[in-house]
Amino acid sequence: MRMASLVLAICISAPLAAQEPDNKAMVNMVIQIQQLQDEVRTLRGMLEDQGAEIENLSNRQRDQFLDLDQRINDLRGNASGPVAARPSSAAPAVNQGSAASQTAPAGDRPEVSKPVNAQTAVKGLPTPDTASHDTVPTPETEKEAYDQAFQSLKELKYADAAEQFKAFLKQYPDSEYADNAQYWLGESYYVTRNYDIALEAFQNVLNKFPQSPKVPDSLLKIGYTYYELKQWDQARAALEQVQQQYPNTTLARLAESRLRSMKLEGHY
* Number of CB atoms found within 10 A of residue 44's CB: 10
Of 137, 98, 136, 134, nearest to 114 by C-alpha is: 98
More confident residue, 12 or 194: 194
Going by pLDDT thresholds of 50, 70 and 90, the confidence category of residue 215 is: very high
Measured distance CA(156)–CA(3) in Å, rounded: 47
Judged against a pLDDT cut of 50, whether residue 62 lies above it is answered with yes
More confident residue, 61 or 85: 61
Of 191, 241, 193, nearest to 215 by C-alpha is: 241
* pTM exceeds 0.95: no
Span 208-231, average pLDDT: 97
Judged against a pLDDT cut of 50, whether residue 119 lies above it is answered with no
Span 14-20, average pLDDT: 55
**In the predicted model, what is the mean pLDDT of the chain?**
76
Q: What per-residue confidence (pLDDT) applies to 5?
A: 56
Q: What per-residue confidence (pLDDT) applies to 121?
A: 44
Q: What per-residue confidence (pLDDT) applies to 265?
A: 94
More confident residue, 100 or 4: 4
